[in-house]
Structure 1
Amino acid sequence: MTVPADAAEPPAAAMPAVVIGAGPIGLAAAAHLVERGIEPLVLEAGPRAGSAVRQWSHVRLFSAWAEVVDPVAEKLLAPTGWAKPAGGTYPTGGDWVSRYLEPLAGVLGERVRFGTRVTGVSRLGRDRVVDADRERQPFTVHVARADGTEERLTARAVIDASGTWSTPGPIGGDGLPAPGERAAAERISYRVPDLKDPSVRARYAGRRTAVIGSGASAFTALVHLADLAKEAHGTHAAWILRRGIGGSTFGGGEADQLPARGALGLAAKAAVDGGYADAVTGFRTAAIEKTGDRLVLVAEDGRRLDPVDEVIVLTGFRPDLSFLAELRLGLDERLQAPVGLAPLIDPNVHSCGTVYPHGVGELSHPEQGVYLVGMKSYGRAPTFLAMTGYEQVRSIAASLAGDQAAAERVELTLPETGVCGGAGLFDEPDASKSDEGGGCCGTGGHVLKA
C-alpha cells in the first residue's frame, strides 16, 4: 500500500504482506497468503517472474516436477486449466519458469509488481535503535522503480524471498575478492556458461579455462566443457579445488537416490578421467595476475597455475542484507542464516540425513513480522530444497493468519535420498565446509541454482 507523506496510516489488517522476489518461493508465499485471506504484494526487481531462474534456464534441476510445484500454488492454478507437467520428469530452469512460474504470476495478477527494486525496509518512524512503540508500527518498504521513481509502501509483514543469486562468492580463498580479481573481470564468469549460445561457445572453444568450485555447478561446467572439447580442439579445463579428492568428491554415483545428481557426478568424473580436465587440489587462490592476454592464478602456498584464458568461479552464494540494515535480525555469525535454522544446515557439522522441515519458529527474528525464506534463509549454506521453502512459507502464512497450530505443525515429509559423506555434492559456500570434506547429504527436491 502506497501512503502519501501527510496521510494517516491504515490499520495493520488493511495492509498487505510484502513479499520480496517473484521466484519460486516468493510466488508460493503469495499463494499461501491468498489462501489465508491475507493480501500479498510481491515486489520483483526484474521485468518478469523468475528473473534469477531465467539466468540459468539452460541447466536441468535434480528435482522432478513433483518436487518443485507448491501444492497451494497448484490449487490456485487449477481453475485456469493449467496442466501440471508429468511428475517424474526433470525440468530445466527455463521449463520451471515457462510452465509454472509465469502462469502462477499471471494468476496473482496485479499482486505482483515487476521492475520494482526494494532499497530499504524499516519500521515506520523508527530506525533500528529506537524501542518506543516499535512493534506497533507497520513496516515501511522503500522501492525504486525501473523508470527511476521512488516510492514508500507500508506493510503488515515482510517476507524476503529475494534469494542469493545476485551475490556469488568470489575467487579468494578467504571469502574476499582476490587481488587482481576485479581487474580481470572481463575474463571471469560466476555462472555456469550456456555453451549452446554461439557467442558464449566461442568464448571457451579452443581455450584453457579454470573452473573453481567442488559442487554441482562445477560438475556441470566441467561436463559442458568436456563436451565442447570433443568438438573444438584445444579446449581444456583446469579444475581448482580448495580441498583434496576423496571417495565422495564426485557424489554418490549410482547409489545416489537422486539419479540425475548421481549421473552428473559420474559425468564429471569421466571428464577428469578422460583428460578433458586436470584436477588441482588444495588450491586456495590468493591472487590473479595478468600475463599478456591470459591469467595466472596464484595460491596461498605460492603455487602458480599455467596461464588460462577464462575463469569460471562457482564457489557458492551469499545473502545481500544491505537493504535490511534497519531491521533487528537474529542471524548466525557464520552462515548469516536465522539463528534458529543455522544448526540444522551448518555444513561444518551437518552430516547425513535430511534437513528437518521447519517453519515460523526457526525463521523468526527479534524484529517480529519479518522473515527470510527460501535460499535467502540459508545464508551461505548450500543445501536448499524447493520443498523446504514451500513448507517455510506455508508455516509463515498460517502464523500471520493467527493459526498457530498450523504454523507449528510439520506438513512436509522429506524422503531420505542422500548419500553420506557427499560434501562435493553441492556448490561450495566459499570455504565454510570442512577441508576434510565433512559431508552433507541431500534430499529429494534439491534445486540446482547455477
Structure 2
Amino acid sequence: MTSSALPVVVIGAGPIGLAAAAELVVREQDVIVLERGERAADAVRQWGHVRLFSPWSEVTSPAAVALLEAAGWEHPDRAAYPTGAEWSRDYLEPLAQLLGERVRTSSQVIGVARLDRDLLVDSGRDEQPFVLHVSSPGGTHDRVLARAVIDCSGTWSSPNPLGAEGYPAAGEDAATGQVLHGMPDPVRDLTRFQGASTAVVGSGASALTALIALTSAPLHTADSRVVWVVRRGAVGSAFGGGELDELPARGALGTRVRTAVQEGLIEVVTGFRVSAVERHGRQVALWAADGRHMDGLDQVVGATGFRPDLTFLSEVRLDLDARLQAPTALAPGIDPNLHSCGSVQPHGFEVLAQPERELFLAGMKSYGRAPSFLAMTGHEQVRSIAAALAGDLVAARAVELQLPDTGVCGGAGLFDEEPGAGGGCCGTDPGPQPLTLTAPAGVAR
C-alpha cells in the first residue's frame, strides 16, 4: 500500500482532534482518531464542572457544525457559556458519534515513527509512511500506518509540578493524595475541600477559577482557609484583564478574586517558590527556597500549568522552541511574556509543520508550555492543516481569525518583575486590542 492510500491519523479525540477529523471528512479525506480515554473528550469530562469563559459560538468548529446540522443536530444558544460537561454532552459526544468508527477509544499512542526507520536513518525517510504504536487495554500492541499525523493530544495529562524549577519539589510525589492538579469540584471533592485549609499554587486562569470555587459555597465555610501562593514578587497582572478583557467571563475571574482578597477570604503569599512538600499526618507543609514555610495545610491545588508529552515523538524529527516546547516558528507569537491569547501571530499549517514531513502539532499541544490557548485558534489551525493535506494550498494559506484579547500579558515566564516593565505588548496602559489576523483555552477555553 502506498502512503497516499493510507489515512491521516489524528492523536486525541478532544475538541481540536475531533475538529481536525471533521475538517478532513468534509474534504473527503480518510481519517482515524486515536483516543487514550474510554470515551471521546475524556480530558474535558475531568473538568466538566468548570464553566468555559468562551461562549458556544466560539467553541464549535464550523466544519463540525456543518456535519452535525446535516444530521439534524441543533446548535446550542450561541451566546451561552457551557460547562465542560455541557460542551462534551451537547457537542463533542454527538460529533464523535457522527464520526463513528473513525474514532478509536482506549487507544493510547506510545510511539510515532517512520516505517522501518528510527530517528537516525535518513535514507528514504520521507517516502515511508508513519507507523503509530498503539497500546490498548489488556496489553495489546497495535501498529497503525498513516500518510500524515496531526498530534492534538493536548497537555492535560502532563501538569507542571509544584516545584518552582520544573521538577517535583522534594516530597511532592509522596504527597499525591493531598495535591490536586485540576479544579476542585464542589460535588466530587466536597469532603476533601469543604472547610479545609487549602493552598492554591499558580497565577493563571486555572488558579483564579480554583480560588473562586474554594471561596464559594459549598466548599467555603466558616472554618475554611484559602492561601494563594504566587511565585512572583507581586500579584500584579495575575488578577487578569478585568474590564479590559474582551472575554467578559474570563475578565470577571480576576475581578471576583480581587474582591475575595479585599474581603479577607484569601491570604496572598508572594515570592514563594516551592522547594519541598512535607507530610505531617493528614496535613502538609510547603517550604520555599528562601526558607519560609507554610504549615497546617489540608490540601494543595497545583495550578501551575501544563506541558506537552513529547515522549512518544522521540523517533520523529521535531523543531521546537527550547523554552516553550512549541513549534519554533510559532513560539515568538505566543510567548506569554509578550502576548496574550488574543495577540498571537497569524499561523496555519506551515508554522505548525515539523521537519518530519506531514507531521503537525495542533491545539494545546502546539502551544507547548504557553498558556491561554483558545478553541477558536485550534479550529483554524486544523482547518488550514486539513486543506493542506487535501492539496488545497490556497485555502490552507488563507488563514483568517479575529481573537478576543485579554488586555494584559500573561507574564508566565517572568521572575519578580511585572509584565509591561520593559514595554512588551502591554506597556503601561494596554487597553483592548482587537485583532483581525490574515494569512493563526485542559484545558481550550
TM-score by length of 2: 0.92
Matched, 1:155 2:136: no
Alignment partner for residue 210 of structure 2, among 214, 221, 241?
221
Q: How has the CA–CA distance of structure 1 residues 15 and 353 changed in structure 2, closer, same or farther, with 3 Å as cutoff?
A: closer
Task: Report 1:289-304 matches (<5 A).
Answer: 289-304=278-293
Aligned to 2:10: 19
Alignment partner for residue 189 of structure 1, among 180, 185, 190?
180
Aligned to 1:252: 241
Task: Report 1:21-420 matches (<5 A).
Answer: 21-197=12-188, 200-228=189-217, 232-350=221-339, 354-415=343-404, 417-420=405-408
Name the Cα RMSD after superposition.
2.1
Between the two proteins, the alignment pairs up a number of residues equal to 431
Tell me which amino acid in the other structure corresponds to 1:437. E
Aligned to 2:429: none
Matched-pair contact (CA < 8 Å) for 1:345–1:383: no
Q: How has the CA–CA distance of structure 1 residues 175 and 447 changed in structure 2, closer, same or farther, with 3 Å as cutoff?
A: closer
Shift of 1:12: 1.6
Shift of 1:291: 2.7
Matched, 1:437 2:418: yes
Shift of 1:128: 0.6
3-state SS of 1:265 partner: helix
Tell me which amino acid in the other structure corresponds to 1:413. Q
Shift of 1:422: 5.2
| Structure 2 unaligned blocks of 5 or more | 427-432
Rounded to whole Å, the distance in 2 between the matches of 1:447 and 1:325 is 23
Shift of 1:39: 0.4
Tell me which amino acid in the other structure corresponds to 1:208. S
3-state SS of 1:343 partner: helix
Q: How has the CA–CA distance of structure 1 residues 351 and 91 changed in structure 2, closer, same or farther, with 3 Å as cutoff?
A: closer
Q: How has the CA–CA distance of structure 1 residues 47 and 268 changed in structure 2, closer, same or farther, with 3 Å as cutoff?
A: same
Matched-pair contact (CA < 8 Å) for 2:236–2:418: no
3-state SS of 1:402 partner: coil
Q: How has the CA–CA distance of structure 1 residues 209 and 70 changed in structure 2, closer, same or farther, with 3 Å as cutoff?
A: same
Matched-pair contact (CA < 8 Å) for 1:359–1:391: yes
Shift of 1:268: 1.0
Q: Percent identity?
A: 55
Q: How has the CA–CA distance of structure 1 residues 166 and 280 changed in structure 2, closer, same or farther, with 3 Å as cutoff?
A: same
Q: How has the CA–CA distance of structure 1 residues 41 and 378 changed in structure 2, closer, same or farther, with 3 Å as cutoff?
A: same
3-state SS of 2:306 partner: coil
Rounded to whole Å, the distance in 2 between the matches of 1:175 and 1:69 is 34
Aligned to 1:6: none
Q: How has the CA–CA distance of structure 1 residues 225 and 338 changed in structure 2, closer, same or farther, with 3 Å as cutoff?
A: same
Deviations 1:387-406 (A, max 9, x none): 11111111111111111111
Deviations 1:31-83 (A, max 9, x none): 11112221000001111110000000000111010001100111111121100
Rounded to whole Å, the distance in 1 between the matches of 2:342 and 2:243 is 18
Matched-pair contact (CA < 8 Å) for 1:212–1:313: yes
Q: How has the CA–CA distance of structure 1 residues 161 and 399 changed in structure 2, closer, same or farther, with 3 Å as cutoff?
A: same
3-state SS of 1:97 partner: helix
Matched-pair contact (CA < 8 Å) for 2:55–2:78: yes
